[in-house]
A and B are shown apart, each in its own frame.
Chain A
Amino acid sequence: MMITEPRIPDPDGFYAALLAAHEGLGEAQSADLNARLVLLLANQCGDQAVLLACIHAAAEDPTTTPETP
């Protein structure tokens, strides 16, 4: 099961570290970094069903999903 409840102990600290890692990078370098990060995190998870659920969830971009009335 994909976990959607908060689990990151220091969310702001994590986000700040992520931004810091991207600081000064061009678009392509940032994309490379993100791709490496995704693969490293995927191996931490190591659960095929959860990985597929995460891919699915990430592909459902809320900014392009039409709003339901």
Chain B
Amino acid sequence: MENFAFAPAYELPAWPFVPPPELGSPQTVRHPIVIVGAGPSGLTLACDLAQRGVRAVLLDEDDTVGVRGASSRGICYAQKSLEIFERLGIYERIAAKGITWSLGRTFSGEQEVYSFNLQAESVSRQPPFINLQQFYIEWFLVERILELGLTDVRWKSRVTRIEPLSDGVRIDIETPAGNYTIEADRLIDATGANSPIRTQLGIDAHASRSTDRWCISDVRFKKPLPTERWTWVDAPFNEGRGVWQHLMADGVWRIDYQMPEDCDTAHISRPEVAGARLREQLGPGVEFEFVWIGPYGYRDHLLDSFRHGRVFFIGDAAHVVSPFGARGGNSGIQDAANLGWKLALVVQGRANDALLDSYDAERQRAAKENLKVTSRSARFLAPRSPAEHTLRRAVVALAARHPFARALVNTGRMSVANDYPPAPQLPEGARTVQNLPLRWADGRETTLMQLLAEGTQCLGLWLAPTRAEARAALDATAPLPLRLLAIDGDSGLPALQADETLVRHLGLCDAGSFVLVRPDAYRAATLPQATPDAIATALRTALALDHHAP
């Protein structure tokens, strides 16, 4: 029998536990924002707030990134997430370390039946996807948070109990140096799929568990394969079941094998069993070493509401979907970016608590959509009856010959920045604005994310306003968080150069048209013929502000 080697384990950083001032103090200190859980969503939120100059306490029960001894977990980071990371200042590190890709191919047997190129629809400076082991993302976020210096990161601090109060939350914390209690105006639960806070509060997550079984093999080998997302609906080298193949950083491939539902999970993840599978796929003569092997089954859940009074749920604590399409981690990161600017404005007294309700309205809907989309992929990949197998066989057979059927092949619909439906704060609904490369009138380069990286304000992009309009609009919006910019024209406002891509992507048309972009790079309003009053009204609406208050 062939012997299979294991690579040395990843060397993860660790940060020291520092006894906080509250330990041993008789006073209960109140903090404006406490985030529990330093995974991708909790760290993104802490970093987003710090970037905006807002302090928070971040509690985590561990002192490192990733899950000790476990796999790398998430691997695919979508354009919207990458744009958020550009705004937070860690994108360059991610791009340098990760694997950029935009092409996906799906095979049935030996034949390619479907492919997509996500680059085709992109106008962003960021690529459609970068693959990177999740702990690297967390690692870069922690270092950026420490560099920004506004977040009180408390490692080895486990929340044992919370108590919702009328105006905040009481939090009991266990540490190696003893227990203590703090209070928060607002608590954000980012503790992940098994949230103890959610359990303690008795909130039903409507969980369901799939019987589909997979085995992850993270493996390093020398055989040159394209850096594309390859999926097999029915791979000849996996007894006709599904296989996923992705490259991550450090030359590590993630190969995911679908297993029989009734498989013995311990058996299928033994090195000699996983190694034999891999040998069949790679052929003889390709040397490889394992980085990690592990079985998994997936589940899903979705909270009815992501806000319970002063407690907010983000990421896996709020929603879990099957992994097909990379909609889990990415939506957690986007939850954080949705909540970050709203919390910042509320904490700074520039918006009211009502704005925070829109976090639930927008992100719960996004999660619901993601659940629907990923459930359909999961069902295509694991047919539940002979009839479903028959239909899938028909789809795959036709897809090999006819383009129309390729649209029915569903090995995951890749994560997108979800549209938000019309709502009181979003009369037109909202869609993402990509990170357009921009140029100031004097030729200097910038991007939308760079414009949004400082402070917390909406961007008003106005196509060639007149001087009088521009002055009146500055007056009308003076106390509000708005950065007003012109595109072309001679208005006296700071001006960007117009180009066709920019104008088309923003949905601008004639001189005088206007787009309001929120701090999370969602388009909140389009005004075909903007007036100063209409701009002020659109801004107040987007921020859920009383129309009569200053």
Kindly identify, within residues 382 to 418 of chain B, every residue whose CB is under 8 Å from any CB belonging to chain A.
Answer: 387, 390-391, 393-395, 397-398, 402, 404-405, 408
Kindly identify, within residues 356 to 406 of chain B, every residue whose CB is under 8 Å from any CB belonging to chain A.
Answer: 387, 390-391, 393-395, 397-398, 402, 404-405
Q: How far is the CA of A37 from the CA of B395 in the complex (A)?
A: 10
Interface of B is mostly: helix
Interface string of B58-77 (1 = CB under 8 A from A): 00000000000000000000
**Is A43 an interface residue, CB under 8 A from the partner?**
yes
Instruction: Name B391's contact: one of A28, A35, A40, A43 (CB within 8 Å).
Output: A35
Interface string of A34-69 (1 = CB under 8 A from B): 011011100100000000000000000000000000
Q: How far is the CA of A28 from the CA of B390 in the complex (A)?
A: 8
Kindly identify, within residues 10 to 48 of chain A, every residue whose CB is under 8 Å from any CB belonging to chain B.
Answer: 28, 31-32, 35-36, 38-40, 43
Most B Cβ at <10 Å: residue of A28, A31, A38: A31
Nearest B residue to A42 by beta-carbon distance? B404
Rounded to whole Å, the gap between the CB of A38 and the closest CB of chain B is 8
Interface string of B242-255 (1 = CB under 8 A from A): 00000000000000
B contact residues around A40 at 8 Å (CB): 398, 402
Interface of A is mostly: helix
A39 pairs with B390, CB closer than 8 A:
no
A contact residues around B394 at 8 Å (CB): 32, 35-36, 38-39
A39 pairs with B408, CB closer than 8 A:
yes
Nearest B residue to A35 by beta-carbon distance? B394
Q: How far is the CA of A32 from the CA of B391 in the complex (A)?
A: 7
Most A Cβ at <10 Å: residue of B394, B395, B405: B394
Chain B interface residue count, Cβ-Cβ cutoff 8 angstroms: 12
B contact residues around A31 at 8 Å (CB): 387, 390
B398 pairs with A39, CB closer than 8 A:
yes
A contact residues around B402 at 8 Å (CB): 40, 43
A contact residues around B397 at 8 Å (CB): 32, 36
Rounded to whole Å, the gap between the CB of B377 and the closest CB of chain A is 18
Interface string of B443-479 (1 = CB under 8 A from A): 0000000000000000000000000000000000000
Q: How far is the CA of A39 from the CA of B398 in the complex (A)?
A: 9
A39 pairs with B393, CB closer than 8 A:
no
Nearest A residue to B399 by beta-carbon distance? A39
Rounded to whole Å, the gap between the CB of B291 and the closest CB of chain A is 41
Q: How far is the CA of A40 from the CA of B394 in the complex (A)?
A: 10
Rounded to whole Å, the gap between the CB of B264 and the closest CB of chain A is 30
B393 pairs with A35, CB closer than 8 A:
yes
Q: How far is the CA of A32 from the CA of B398 in the complex (A)?
A: 11
Q: How far is the CA of A38 from the CA of B390 in the complex (A)?
A: 12
A contact residues around B393 at 8 Å (CB): 32, 35
B contact residues around A35 at 8 Å (CB): 390-391, 393-394
Q: How far is the CA of A35 from the CA of B397 in the complex (A)?
A: 10
Q: How far is the CA of A35 from the CA of B398 in the complex (A)?
A: 10
Q: How far is the CA of A43 from the CA of B404 in the complex (A)?
A: 7
B contact residues around A39 at 8 Å (CB): 391, 394-395, 398, 405, 408
Closest 10 CB pairs of A and B: A35-B394, A43-B404, A36-B394, A31-B390, A35-B390, A35-B391, A39-B394, A39-B398, A36-B398, A32-B393
8 further A-B pairs in the complex, CB-CB below 8 A; given A31-B390, A39-B394, A40-B402: A28-B390, A35-B394, A36-B397, A39-B391, A39-B395, A39-B405, A39-B408, A43-B402
14 example contacts (A-B, Cβ-Cβ < 8 A) are as follows A31-B387, A31-B390, A32-B390, A32-B393, A32-B397, A35-B393, A35-B394, A36-B394, A38-B394, A39-B391, A39-B395, A39-B405, A39-B408, A43-B405
